[in-house]
Amino acid sequence: MTASTDPERRELIVVTGASTGMGAATARELARRGFHVLAGVRRQVDADALRAEGIEPHALDITVESDVTAIADRVARDPMHRPLRALINNAGIAVNAPVETLPLDEWRRQFEVNLFGHIAMTQALLPALLQSCGTVVNISSVGGRVALSTYGAYAGSKFALEAVSDAMRREVAEFGVKVVVVEPGGVKTEITERGIATADRLSAAMTADQLHRYGDLAEAVKAQARSFTAGGVTAERAATVIAKAATASRPRTRYTIGRDAAVLVRVARLASDRLLDRMLRLNLRPHYA
Ligand SMILES: NC(=O)c1ccc[n+]([C@@H]2O[C@H](COP(=O)([O-])OP(=O)(O)OC[C@H]3O[C@@H](n4cnc5c(N)ncnc54)[C@H](OP(=O)(O)O)[C@@H]3O)[C@@H](O)[C@H]2O)c1
């Protein structure tokens, strides 16, 4: 691997959703390791904050076709003809509400970002990844293995991302392209408070009957999410796992981040649905007011 001071930075890595949280930390970790990172951001202010040696911010909303095409062109026309070592599909949002109450356009928004955006990026960058025998890293979640109450849309998008990753890994392995899933548990980033703001907006739109059915549940889930995050790992710690997934020559198919994720993923694999229902209910109980 090239040293961080190497002016040539011989390989490219694309990171989506690099304005905050794990994406920003991963961009910095990979630049430190000597890669040239194309860091996807949506605002100029984030580009200015992120720009550094080895980090080139690039305007990128993964749901906007012209943005996706533009970053693929940037990779294809790299002036130094550097190979694309990895694409890290990290951008994500949390749209949480009970299944009954979540409007269909919100379901679509959740899937547009957490699933279709990643597929669009992967399709656009696959020619470069095929040339370089590179790696696709899809940032899923422990929610890609276990669907908590009110996480139907979020977990649905992450379960789907897991399935797409499995299918694609089996399709492209023989061409030397690796597909890796990363499953974080609680990580201290912006997503929790952003998700809670969205959940509050959605709760405010519930009917009186729906609020009667789900109001207390929604509040308990918010409190639980805050405590998961408070007990979670730092974005920098998460970034070391993501960087390993992106750069290992023989990566595992899946990496968890944090002890909570490692435990929950294992429990979910072993427990029956009914047992898991009971365990999750018990876990949520202390968070009711
Ligand atoms: N933190 C956790 O506890 C946790 C746990 C499991 C999984 N994850 C997953 O980890 C990933 C990173 O999240 P994070 O925790 O680091 O949260 P975060 O700090 O909120 O970062 C999310 C990033 O996604 C970007 N983004 C949102 N919509 C986008 C779009 N349409 N196009 C491009 N970028 C978009 C955001 O950009 P803007 O600033 O422009 O909105 C931001 O850079 C997500 O996929 C999330 O689901 C997080």
φ, ψ dihedrals at 173, nearest 5°:
-55, -40
Could you report the per-residue pLDDT of 54-94, keeping only the tens digit for each? 999 999 999 999 999 999 999 999 999 999 999 999 999 99
Question: CA triplet 255, 28, 134: central angle to 5 degrees?
Answer: 50
Q: How far apart are CA 89 and CA 62, in angstroms?
A: 9
Over 70: is that where the pLDDT of 3 sits?
no
Are residues 203 and 218 in contact, defined by beta-carbon separation less than 8 angstroms? yes
CA 209 – ligand 1 centroid, Å: 32
Tell me, using a 6 A CB cutoff, whether residue 113 lines ligand 1: yes
User: Over 60: is that where the pLDDT of 1 sits?
Assistant: no
In short, whether 61's Cβ falls inside 6 Å of ligand 1 is: yes
Q: Is residue 94 part of a domain?
A: yes
Ligand 1 pocket, residue 132 CB under 6 Å: no
pLDDT over 80 at 182, yes or no: yes
pLDDT score, position 8: 54
CA–CA dist 78, 275 (Å, integer): 53
Q: How far is the CA of 252 from the centre of ligand 1 (A)?
A: 23
Q: Is 5 within the bounds of a domain?
A: no
Which residue among 151, 154, 214, 255 is the active-site one? 154
128: pLDDT strictly greater than 80: yes
The two structure tokens encoding residue 170: 């089996």
Domain assignment present for residue 6? The answer is no
Instruction: List pLDDT tens digits, range 104-121.
Output: 999 999 999 999 999 999
User: What's the gap in Å between 90 CA and the centre of ligand 1?
Assistant: 6
Q: Dihedral sign, CA of 143, 144, 149, 152?
A: positive
Mean pLDDT, residues 188-211 taken together: 98
Residue 148, domain member (yes or no):
yes
Amino acid at 183: E
**149 assigned to some structural domain:** yes
Q: Provide the pLDDT confidence category of residue 6 given band limits of 50, 70 and 90.
A: low
8 A C-beta contact, residue 246 and residue 85 = yes
Domain that holds residue 56: 12-287
Q: Look at the chain and report how many structural domains it folds into.
A: 1
Reply yes or no on whether 154 is catalytic: yes
Ligand 1 centre distance from Cα of residue 189 (Å) = 8
Contacts of 252 by beta carbon, 8 Å cutoff, 6+ apart:
180, 245
7 domain-assigned: no
Looking up residue 219, the CATH number of its domain turns out to be 3.40.50.720
Q: Is the pLDDT of residue 47 over 80?
A: yes
Position 131 in a domain:
yes
Q: Could you tell me if residue 113 is inside a domain?
A: yes
Give the residue, out of 20, 96, 111, with the most ligand 1 atoms within 8 A of its beta carbon, to mutate for a pocket test.
Answer: 20
> What number is the average pLDDT over the span 241-245?
98
First-to-last alpha carbon distance for the chain, in angstroms, is 52
- Largest Cα–Cα distance in the chain? 62
pLDDT at res. 9? 78
Q: Can you read off the two tokens belonging to residue 228?
A: 């998961």
